[in-house]
Amino acid sequence: MGDLNGRVALITGAAGHLGSAVGDALAELGADIVVLDLSAETTQAEAQRLAAAHGVRSIAIPFDLENPEGIAVVPERVQHELGRLDILVNNAALVGSSSGLDAWSVPFLEQSVASFRRGLDVNLTAAFALTQACAPLLARSGQGSVVNVLSIYALVGPDRRLYEGTTMENPAGYGASKGGLLQLTRWLATTLAPDVRVNAITPGGIFRDTKEPFLSRYTERTPLKRMATEEDLKGAFAFLASGLSRYVTGQNLVVDGGWTAW
C-alpha cells in the first residue's frame, strides 16, 4: 500500500533541505517527481539528482509562487510531460530565518506590514492557488493526495525564553501564515473529498547548524531531547502521500519530538 510506482508527485520548495528530503522519500517508493522552485538552476539540478539517484522520471519547473498569475501552466506542463498528477506537497515557504526579507525576522515592533503580507502570500496564498490549479488533475488520479507543510508555530506561540540573548527571532507572519494553512487544510479536505485527500505535516525545529544557546534550550524543552532531521520526516510524507493513509483526510500529523505535548 506504500508503493508509489506509476504515480507523480509535485513538490514546491523542492530544491531546499526539506523539499529535497521529501523528493527522496517519495522517489524511493517509485514516484516520479516534479521539482518546483524559484531558481531555474537549482530546480534543474535537483530534478537531475533525483532521476539519477532513484531511477525515476523527474522534471524541473521554475516558478515564482509569490506571483501566481499564470499558475495554470504548472498542471498543464505536468500533464503534458508526465501524463498525470497524484500527489501535491505544498512545502515552499518563507521561514522564520528567511534572509533578504526586510523587517521580517526582527523584534515585533520592527516587523513590517509589507513583510507580513509577503509571508502570507508565499506560505498561504500560494498553497491555495496551486492546489486550486492542480485540483482537477489530482481528482482524475483516483488517488489524489495533498500534503501541506506547517510548523509547530501553527499550533503554539513562541517560547520567548529560547530567543533571549540571541540574534534569532520568530516573525508574526510565519506563525499566522502556517496557522492559516492548517485551517485551509481542513477546508480543502471537506471541499475536495471524496476525490482528493488533504492533510498536513507539522515538523518541529529542524537542526541546520543551529547555534547556541538556542540549540541547548530547544533540546532541553523537547521530550526526545534533540532537534529533528530531514530523515525523521520522510516516513510521515510517505504515509500521507500513499495508500497507507487512504482513509485519512483533514488531519495534521505532528512530528515534533513531543514539543507540543507539554
Which of 163, 174, 218, 247 does the annotation list as catalytic?
174
Residue whose cell numbers read 523539499: 19
DSSP state of 27: H
User: CA 53, 55, 60 angle in degrees (round to 5)?
Assistant: 80
CA distance 169 to 160: 9
- Strands (E) across the chain are located at 8-12, 32-37, 58-62, 87-90, 144-149, 196-203, 252-255
Residues 170 and 149: beta-carbon distance below 8 Å: no
CA distance 191 to 203: 25
Q: Is 247 a catalytic residue?
A: no
What is the residue-wise DSSP string for 188-203?
HHHHHTTTEEEEEEEE
Catalytic (active-site) positions: 174
